[in-house]
Amino acid sequence: MASSLETTFSREWLRRGALACALWPLSLLFRFLAAARRAAFAAGLSSSERLPVPVVVVGNIFIGGTGKTPLTIWLVDALRAAGFRPGVVSRGFGGKDAAPREVGASSTPSDVGDEPVLIAARTGCPVFVGRARAAAGRALLAAHPEVNVIVTDDGLQHYALARDVEIVLFDGRGVGNGWTLPAGPLREPPSRQRDFTVVNAPELTPALAAAVAPPGATRPSMPAVSPSVAPDAARQAGRQAATWQMRLAGDVAERLADRAERMTLAELARRSAPPEAGQGTGLRVAAAAGIGNPARFFGMLKAAGIEAQELPLPDHHDFKDRPFAHLQADFILVTEKDAVKCWQIEELRNDPRIWVVPVSARIDAALADQIVEKLRGRTPA
């Protein structure tokens, strides 16, 4: 039932149909309460803690997955390349404890959440989880005093932690129907100010860039990945108005049982092609994704030439229901986020059909330069 409701709302939130219109009065109340809460923190009526190191928030206003984890990993690597020593704070979806705890080599997704496990494995930097991000940040700095910048994976609306840079991430769905919950998919209105706007999409059209940009933002010139510089007034206000494009790219699949065993997606596409197509052997391929927007993963595989049976699963799916037990497939492709949970289940860990497709964020390096300049207290040229 929950999955059916999620599918219904995901569809309705992309248009202003009868259901969305019926819920519109409630969305006005939600928008008012969200604005009042943010204003309370801005006015000092609610306390917001500032940590002794700069804080960068990677978040979204579109409910569900937009690609925050790959962006966080990209940002950690970019900051490290610029000479910073970053750490990461996350709430840890599904984690058992509210108190801050470090993500270690023995941590499991059920303990700390799937995304923190993936971030720690991919970056090698300190990662702490906790429902109170400020407390998690303090614990991280106490355990790792060398850390001089904290990246928070999600937490855009967690105003109890003061931040120095806000990055708002969208995907190809833009702002949906443009309404806030429950009539639309937005936690806050599109007009919400931020430092940087990033769109996770294979193509950043002018219409999509205009839809996600805050008021007063300049429109990026084509090609869309090129940065545009904000007017002087916006720069003096400390806001970057450009819209940046992020592409998620994966070139290989790695067997879950042994990640050292690899196959390029191009080779898998060739082998899974019908025999009558030439060199194909007709191998059956399935693809499963328990992420916020499974269609994005399936679309990437299609772009690589792989025609797969698609198995969309709820975000943060735990795989304890054995979804592959009766699946007729020679290869089952999963995301890295799902792989960290599959690895915890012996039956899946030893299933030779399961292969992981790692993806990396590709973004114009100039975005990293501007973030670094802002963290260092200088205005980008």
Residues 300, 303, 306, 311, CA torsion sign: positive
Tell the residue number behind the tokens 């248009």, with chain if given.
Answer: 15
- The first and second tokens of residue 258, run together, are 């042994």
Which is nearest to 358 in space by CA: 69, 62, 81?
69
Q: Binding site: what residues are annotated? A: 62-69
Tokens of 239: 């806001």
Q: Please tell me the distance from the alpha carbon of residue 152 to that of residue 176, in angstroms, as a whole number.
A: 25
Mind listing the pLDDT tens digit for each residue in 299-310?
999 999 999 999
Q: What DSSP element (H or E) covers 244?
A: strand 243-249
Note the pTM of the prediction, 2 decimals. Answer: 0.88
Give the residue ranges of the annotated binding site for ATP: 62-69
Tell which wins on pLDDT, 275 or 260. Answer: 260
Round to whole Å and give the CA distance between 199 and 209: 8
- CA pair distance 274, 255, nearest whole angstrom: 23
Integer-rounded Cα radius of gyration of the chain: 21
Write the pLDDT tens digit of every residue in 107-161.
999 899 999 999 999 999 999 999 999 999 999 999 999 999 999 998 899 999 9
Query: pLDDT tens digits, residue range 27-39?
Result: 999 999 999 999 9
Residue 96 binned pLDDT confidence (cut-offs 50, 70, 90): low
Which residues, at least 6 apart from 75, have a Cβ–Cβ distance to it below 8 Å? 56, 58, 86, 151, 167, 368, 371
pLDDT digits 0-9 by tens, 202-230: 999 999 999 999 876 654 433 333 333 33
**What are the residue ranges spanned by the domains of the chain?**
2-84+148-248+362-375, 251-358
